[in-house]
Amino acid sequence: MRFLLRSGVSLGGVIPTRIEELAGALEARNYLAGDDLVVAIHLALQLGRPLFLEGEPGVGKTEVAKVLSDMTGEQLIRLQCYEGLDVGQALYEWDYARQMLEIRLVEARGGDVGSKDIMSRDFLVARPLLQAIEASRNGRRAVLLIDELDRADEEFEAFLLELLSDFQVTIPEIGTISADDPPIVIITSNRTREIHDALKRRCIYHWIDYPDRDTETAIVRRKVPGIDEALAGSLASAMARLRSMNLFKPPGVAETLDWAESLRLLDSGSLTPELIDRTLGVVLKYKDDIEAVREAGVEELVG
């Protein structure tokens, strides 16, 4: 709430205030978002809430943060999550080497070292979360990507819940450091485990699905310049069929783009069964899945 009132004054500028402008700005950056996703992004930007994106791998979750960073002209601050991620890696860490050096220096001059001398901001190394807080001042809002939160453990999630509610940190030796405006936060999850409901409730939630055939064709044509329109279309159709095949790991849009790029390199004008057979490894990454598709017949993917 606090943020809504305050950001109402300082926002504007590079963040589109109208939803149509936002849709245009995303498209201009070659991000073809569905209408619902545009609404979710708009709400997140205007309400100052984190955007929580879930979906199968490779549907363009991380890409949203990159596009928003480009749109706002703010640097993208990225926190890649992993098990055991702790405050020292995510928020801040003391610069021990400098602290030791300082102790030695002061002592060499015959002085006494107090905790105030070596426990100040100068001796602090800012990690992504603190960087984002410190970069969200004076009317600026950093773009913070918290990627693959499902890889972090529950302890980190609990810590993040606290941080996301007020974007301030209290460092016992220094005091409280806070953001003027909430950073633009994008949280992604591949859903390898459930993220706690309390955290998701603080966010604008959106499930990114696989794009429909026409959208995927359009994405391919924008991202892989020079690709034949018909080829882009048959790639999108083939992908839709692959995704309906109950594979262990259905391919995402990222795989579609890799595939399109490969076919362009091979200078192929159309998608033939032989070509699919030879390039299947670009799209499917599990031996079982490749075998399943070959068994069903690669020609099923054409036409």
**Residue ranges binding another protein (CB under 8 A):** 1, 4, 19, 35-36, 39-40, 42-43, 46-47, 49, 54, 82-84, 86, 88, 94, 96, 99-100, 103, 112-115, 117-119, 153, 155, 190-194, 197, 200-201, 204-207, 246, 248, 288
Which residue, 206 or 221, is less far from another protein as judged by CB?
206
Which residue, 54 or 135, is less far from another protein as judged by CB?
54
Name the token pair of 157: 């999630």
Nearest to 267 by CA among 279, 277, 256: 279
Q: How far apart are CA 58 and CA 209, in angstroms?
A: 10
Amino acid at 124: L
Contact 74, 66 (CB under 8 A): no
Hey, which residues does 204 pair with through a beta bridge? 51
Shortest Å, Cβ 260 to another protein: 26
Shortest Å, Cβ 170 to another protein: 16
Hey, which residues does 79 pair with through a beta bridge? 146
Residue 18 per-residue DSSP state = S
Which residue, 66 or 207, is less far from another protein as judged by CB?
207
Q: Which residues have a Cβ under 8 Å from the Cβ of 242 and sit 6 or more positions away?
A: 250, 251, 283, 284, 293, 301
Query: Residues in the chain, how many?
Result: 303
Report phi then psi at 112, rounded to 5: -110, 140
- Cβ atoms < 10 Å from Cβ of 80: 14
Shortest Å, Cβ 200 to another protein: 4
Shortest Å, Cβ 83 to another protein: 6
Residue 94 per-residue DSSP state = E
Which residue, 107 or 229, is less far from another protein as judged by CB?
107
Which residue, 149 or 235, is less far from another protein as judged by CB?
149
Which residue, 103 or 282, is less far from another protein as judged by CB?
103
Residue whose entry in the numeric block shows the structure tokens 């602290």: 99
